[in-house]
């Protein structure tokens, strides 16, 4: 994201009405590009794109395949899956930064884009932490405690988050919970912006 220019948001959504709605919600503060399938989304993607809003279920290339290509090609953009697909444990292997289940509201979409742009300023370790916390929260909202505890990958995810939080907390002076940790980081980024 360069100074003086609006951040670029790429919407990859096969339903034109939905894509246009997202565009209307975001266009006042962001430079919005739209693509109506995965191939078109990849064609629109370049190093100026800051955030991609990506539907999972599209004809042709699925959102999952587009996400994999974004990561394989080394683009340094944040990606939010915006989809009607209920999350399952397969999301643990995916390289997204946020996962929103449709239908969504304008303030939810706007806040997600804003948070992802804030995260872009953080280093790789912090980005990994945020991404893992997002995955954990997504699964915890849709899976039972028993399902979570029975899934080895989820347990590993939880342990990795704990390790990262401890490492990052040590460098920030000892912060306890994820909520306190995230609040502290947001406070630091607000100070940096002033």
How confident is the model over 25-68, as pLDDT tens digits? Answer: 999 999 999 999 999 999 999 999 999 999 998 988 999 999 99
- Domains contained in the chain, number: 2
List the structure tokens of 78: 């944040």
Asked if residue 134 and residue 96 are part of one domain, the reply reads no
139: containing domain: 128-193
> Of 79, 101, 120, which one is at a domain's C-terminal end?
120
Q: Can you name the residues that pair with 42 across neighbouring β-strands? A: none
Q: Crossing angle of helices 152-172/124-142, nearest 10°?
A: 140
Asked if residue 89 and residue 168 are part of one domain, the reply reads no
Q: How many helices (H) and strands (E) does the chain have?
A: 8, 5
CATH code, domain carrying 15? 3.40.50.2300
Q: Backbone phi, then psi, for 133, in 5-degree steps? A: -65, -40
Cβ atoms of residues 49 and 10 within 8 Å: yes
Cβ atoms of residues 7 and 51 within 8 Å: yes
Asked if residue 166 and residue 116 are part of one domain, the reply reads no
- The pTM assigned to this predicted structure is 0.68
3-state secondary structure of 68: helix
Interval 84-121: pLDDT, tens: 888 888 788 888 889 999 999 999 999 999 989 877 76
């Amino acid at each position: 994201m360069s100074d003086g220019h609006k951040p670029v948001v790429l919407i990859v959504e096969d339903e034109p009405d939905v894509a246009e709605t997202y565009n209307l919600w975001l266009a006042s503060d962001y430079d919005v590009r739209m693509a109506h399938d995965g191939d078109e989304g990849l064609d629109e993607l370049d190093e100026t794109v800051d955030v991609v809003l990506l539907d999972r279920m599209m004809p042709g290339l699925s959102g999952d395949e587009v996400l994999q290509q974004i990561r394989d090609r080394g683009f340094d953009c944040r990606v939010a899956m915006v989809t009607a697909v209920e999350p399952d444990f397969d999301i643990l292997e995916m390289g997204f930064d946020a996962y929103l289940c449709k239908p969504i509201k304008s303030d939810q979409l706007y806040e997600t884009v804003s948070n992802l742009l804030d995260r872009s300023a953080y280093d790789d370790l912090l980005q990994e932490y945020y991404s893992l916390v997002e995955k954990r929260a997504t699964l915890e909202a849709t899976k039972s405690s028993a399902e979570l505890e029975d899934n080895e990958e989820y347990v590993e995810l939880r342990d990795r988050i704990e390790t990262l939080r401890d490492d990052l907390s040590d460098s920030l002076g000892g912060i306890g919970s994820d909520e306190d940790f995230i609040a502290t980081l947001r406070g630091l980024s607000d100070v940096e912006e002033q």
